[in-house]
Amino acid sequence: MEVLRTDRGLEVKIPPLLRGMSSREYFQEIEQGMKDSGSDLYFDCSAATLIDSTALGKIIFIAKELQRNKRRVVFESCPPAIKDFLTKLKVDKIIDIA
């Protein structure tokens, strides 16, 4: 996993299966990147097939922290099933889905 710094912010790819309990290093790298940056966080969801509730909870926590600083989390290229799931949970009120 790699956190890329770009002109628009930090960019991260979501793996096909993102499980919170087995993704400690994944989230540590993201959180460190956010501490070192004052920009938005973009997740490329094009390869995602499953985001479990623990992982989604961690992303929501990050999104709320960023909102306090006028920053945001954006999910891009979401497969329809992931997009529908996030919309049903009303996560789209916290995370921008592009």
4-97, what's its fold?
Answer: Transcription Regulator spoIIAA (3.30.750)
Name the more confident of 72 and 24. 72
Handedness of CA 90, 56, 65, 11 (dihedral sign): negative
58 token code pair: 């961690």
Q: Which helix (H) or strand (E) holds 75?
A: strand 73-76
Yes or no: say if 44 and 13 are a contact pair by the CB < 8 Å rule. Answer: yes
pLDDT for 38: 85
pTM: 0.91
Rounded Cα gap, residues 76 and 24, in angstroms: 22
* Residue with the two structure tokens 């002109």: 7
pLDDT for 10: 94
- Residue 94 is classified by DSSP as T
pLDDT band at 35 (very low <50, low <70, confident <90, very high): confident
